[in-house]
Amino acid sequence: MTAEQTGLSRRGLEQLRQRFVEEGFEVTLEGKPRGHRPKLLGGEDEARLTALVCSPKPDGHARWSLRLLAETWKTLAYTDVKSVSHETIRLDFNFRYGYYFRPMETNNPFSRFIGDFIDSQLAEKAGIIEIRIGASAPVPLSAFPWPAASIITGLKYDSRNIASGDLYFALPGLHTDGHGFIPHAVDRGALAVVYQKERAEFREGIIYIRVKDSRFAMSPIADAFYNFPSRKMGIIGVTGTEGKSTTVYLIYQLLKLLGRKAAFVSTVQHGDGLTEKWNSEHQTTPEAVTVHLLLAEMQRNGAEFAVLESSSHGLSKKTNRLGDVDFDVGVMTCVTHEHLEFHGTWEQYRSDKAELFRALNASPTAHRKQGPTGEFTVPSFGVVNADDASAEYFASAAGQKVYSFSAKGAKADISIKKIESEAGGNKYDALVSSTRRTVSIKDNLSGAFNAGNVLASVLVVSNLLSVEIEELVPLIPLLKPVRGRMTAVNLGQPFEVLVDYAHTPSSFETVLPPLRERIKRSGGRLISLFGSAGERDTKKRSQQGEIAARYSDLVFLTDEDPRGEEPMAILEEIAKGCEASSGCESMIRNETLFLIPDRPKAIRKAFSLAQPGDLVLLLGKGHENSIIYASGTISYDEITEAGNALKEAGY
């Protein structure tokens, strides 16, 4: 059989070779010709070609794309593609010639042929309704003719971030609809589109995958694309209204101090197993495509364990951001009033958080993970706060062994019996129920409430690695605080300045009482500065004001993230709570209560009124690096701003 008999002429073969050369590839032929070299190389047509190999030149400019291969293979039948893998694409066209195209080596280790990860099992899980190429009729998945050039290089849900080779998820949203940006995504190089709304326009050569819910589908598709990374590590999830970021970071640090390779994701930072990076987004749990990318990077970097801050938004079935993470351990710090604008009711909020504990009993691997040297089993259990009224609710959701901690002396697996809190940390005695021994603990974390976060972290690591709690106690003074969580700003001023992320009524109740008690012992005053987020739960605003007025001597109300709301209107809602506060004299405007929307100005005013021995507490922004207004986002760092204000004051 000659090249002409296959439908790919000698000239066409040369054009194919030349096209790849123009795109920056080095092209060679593999195989043993029968007696003669093929005419392409100066021999006879009858030679048996076994491979045409395209590899990038050293300059690294070669790129694979659907359009490149579609141009050269348009006369060939895609339905005859027999097998495709990440390493080599093999095309069998029902004749003796087998052409092999080896994808270029790139800096992206996750590129995959789309037909490798979208199978019938994923289709059911992701709710795939139909698949088509361009405007052609939809084809059943079992018979779908995946274009051999469909190498997906990444997953994106923002069309502005699309790069050549990406798969784009069109998501419906509050302010914009991603379906309207499908043409833009394709123009930028998207090879495939996942969407949920009916469409009339389809671009030639593009793969369109319609699903029931494109946001929900992101998680199983991302998990499959990145080859199920959470099934290859021990995964610890931490949920709760407060204390999540700190507990995540403490668990991560303890694992590292014990010589284990660990990674983490929190509101504040991400650690990929090699380095730590600041989280630039106002999002505790990122979207599913980011979650699984981060997990894949951790696993590729050799991490044994990953600790994930798991928000109620991320755990909710509505977003499904964490729906396909194979959790082994679940931690509940506390559950109070928050995010009702999303969940609707407190009961739904609590139920969504408990999805973390339900996941422990639904592990797709039954907690038998596949590591680089073989299979290993991760202990599965839950950890709950015995001081929280919802502890039993979470424990009953787990279906696994559940351990408990108490910072208030309640009956638990580890319980604090005595605590002394100072500006630089805490000292406490804790009873370990399993040994009936009391351990003396010292931490360097400001705020008595952090003792509970320490206990939760100790319980996790002790039971995860089968290490006695007593062996972990010497490591606790080595634990570092999270930036923006009770972070001290000290330039030699005669008053104390702390920056914290507390932004809910329950976190105010946790943070303010012990600080007021401590500062009163030295004769100082507590000055609180905070705001409340726009387009979020409005019921909490007056509650924040009431609690702050009850424990503070001076209150400054200022912008947090007003978003589309009028800033002063938000402050007035908070002020209603301040002025109606019980247990103390009502706040008086411009004497003990100040409404200053401009946050830097509010900080400077608070510092100007601070006296020696006072404590100025800056709440709500913590680690965040911006303030969101209706007109846009401005860069802002609370710790830096506080330092600048002190310098301007001459410190």
pLDDT digits (tens, 9 = 90+) for 164-179: 889 999 999 877 899 9
Consecutive H or E run containing 570: helix 567-579
* 108: confidence class by pLDDT, cuts 50, 70, 90: confident
Judge if 360 and 501 occupy the same domain. Answer: no
The average pLDDT across 220-226 equals 97
What proportion of the chain, given as a percentage, has pLDDT over 90? 56
Least confident of 270-284, 313-327, 397-411, 446-460: 270-284
Asked if residue 389 is part of any domain, the answer here is yes
Return the top range by mean pLDDT from 246-260, 361-375, 541-555, 629-643.
246-260
| 13-22 own/partner pairs: CB under 8 Å, 24+ apart | 13/40, 14/40, 15/72, 16/52, 16/72, 16/73, 17/52, 19/68, 19/71, 19/72, 20/54, 20/68, 20/72
Counting DSSP H helices and E strands in the chain, the numbers are: 19, 33
Q: Is the pLDDT of residue 266 over 70?
A: yes
Between residues 92 and 421, the one the model is more confident about: 421
pLDDT above 90 (res 256): yes
Which residue range is the domain that position 128 belongs to?
112-225
The span from the CA of 414 to the CA of 491, in Å, is 38
Sheet holding 154-156, edge to edge: 128-133, 207-211, 192-195, 166-169, 154-156
Q: What are the distances in angstroms from CA 316 to CA 216, 324, 330, 350, 353?
A: 10, 12, 15, 10, 7
> Facing residues of 132 across strands?
208
Residue 211 — very low, low, confident or very high, per pLDDT cuts 50/70/90?
Answer: very high
Q: Does one domain contain both 400 and 303?
A: yes
Predicted pLDDT of residue 257: 97
Asked whether residue 382 falls in the same domain as residue 263, the answer is yes
Give yes or no for residue 73 having a pLDDT over 90.
no
Highest mean predicted confidence (pLDDT) among 25-29, 455-459, 481-485: 455-459
Q: Does residue 176 sit within a domain?
A: yes
- Give me the mean pLDDT over the 461-471 stretch: 97
Rounded-to-integer distance, Cα 403 and Cα 400, Å: 10
Interatomic CA distance for residues 574 and 534, integer angstroms? 12
Q: Is the pLDDT of residue 384 over 90?
A: yes
Predicted local confidence at residue 457, as pLDDT: 98
- Residue 20, pLDDT > 70, answer no
Query: 256 with 349, same domain?
Result: yes
Dihedral class, residue 480 (left if φ above 0, else alpha if ψ from -120 to 50, else beta): beta
Q: How many domains does the chain have?
A: 4
Please tell me whether residues 505 and 456 are part of one structural domain.
Answer: no
**Is the domain of 187 the same as that of 131?**
yes
Residues 589, 606: one domain? yes
Is a pLDDT exceeding 80 seen at residue 271? yes
pLDDT of residue 31: 40
CATH number for the domain that contains residue 561: 3.90.190.20
Q: What's the whole-number mean pLDDT along residues 429-451?
A: 92
pLDDT confidence tier of residue 93, bands split at 50, 70 and 90: very low
Whether the pLDDT of residue 40 is over 70: the answer is no
Residue 53 is assigned to a structural domain of this protein: yes
Task: Among 192, 225, 258, give the residue marking a domain's end.
Answer: 225
pLDDT in the model for residue 582: 55
- Structure confidence at residue 521 (pLDDT): 87
What integer pLDDT is reported at residue 191 of this predicted model?
Answer: 93
Q: Same domain for 558 and 587? A: yes
Q: How confident is the model at residue 255 (pLDDT cuts 50, 70, 90)?
A: very high
Same domain, residue pair 454 and 584: no
Q: What is the pLDDT of residue 428?
A: 95
Q: Does the pLDDT at position 48 exceed 50?
A: no
Q: What DSSP assignment string belongs to 457-470? A: HHHHHHHHHT--HH
Q: What is the pLDDT of residue 581?
A: 62
- Answer yes or no: do 125 and 256 share one domain: no
- pLDDT value of position 21: 60
Which pLDDT score, from 0 to 100, does residue 36 have? 34
Mean pLDDT to the nearest integer, 283-304: 91
Question: Is the confidence at residue 158, as pLDDT, over 80?
Answer: yes
Three-state SS at 527: strand
Say if residue 448 is in the same domain as residue 318.
yes
Residue among 312, 309, 310, 321 at smallest CA distance from 340: 312
Of 199, 225, 251, which residue is a domain's last? Answer: 225
Task: State the pLDDT confidence band at 42, using cuts at 50, 70 and 90.
Answer: very low
| 19 — pLDDT class (breaks 50, 70, 90) | low
Measured in whole angstroms, how far is the alpha carbon of residue 425 from the centre of its chain? 29
Decide if 255 is inside a domain: yes
Same domain, 398 and 499: no
Q: What is the mean pLDDT of residues 251-274?
A: 94
Q: Specify the pLDDT at position 349.
A: 84
In the chain, what percentage of residues exceed pLDDT 70?
80
Q: Is residue 416 part of a domain?
A: no
Give a yes or no: residue 476 inside a domain: no
State the pLDDT confidence band at 141, using cuts at 50, 70 and 90. Answer: confident
Q: Which of 61, 77, 101 is the last residue of a domain?
A: 101
Question: Over 90: is that where the pLDDT of 11 sits?
Answer: no
pLDDT digits (tens, 9 = 90+) for 341-378: 565 687 888 888 999 999 999 999 999 999 888 899 99
pLDDT digits (tens, 9 = 90+) for 538-588: 888 888 889 999 999 999 999 998 898 999 999 999 998 887 765 455 688
Residue 446 pLDDT > 90, yes or no?
Answer: no
Quickly state the pLDDT bin for 447 (edges 50, 70, 90).
Answer: confident
Q: Work out the mean pLDDT of the chain and round it to a whole number.
A: 82
Q: What is the pLDDT of residue 341?
A: 59
Predicted confidence at residue 18, as pLDDT, reads 63
474, part of any domain: no
CATH code of the domain in which 319 resides: 3.40.1190.10
What is the structure's pLDDT at 585? 57
Q: Is residue 432 part of a domain?
A: no
Predicted confidence at residue 27, as pLDDT, reads 53
Question: What is the SS3 string spanning 575-642?
Answer: HHHHHCCCCCCCCCECCCEEECCCHHHHHHHHHHHCCCCCEEEEECCCCCCEEEECCEEEECCHHHHH
Q: What is the pLDDT of residue 72?
A: 41
Where does the pLDDT of residue 340 fall: very low under 50, low under 70, confident under 90, or very high at 90 and above?
low
> What's the pLDDT score for residue 535?
85
**pLDDT computed for residue 258 by the predictor:** 97
Ranking 3-12, 230-239, 461-470, 497-506 by mean pLDDT, the lowest is 3-12
- CATH code, domain carrying 191: 3.40.1390.10
Beta-strand ranges (E) seen in 23-159 are 25-30, 51-56, 83-84, 89-92, 98-101, 112-113, 128-133, 151-152, 154-156
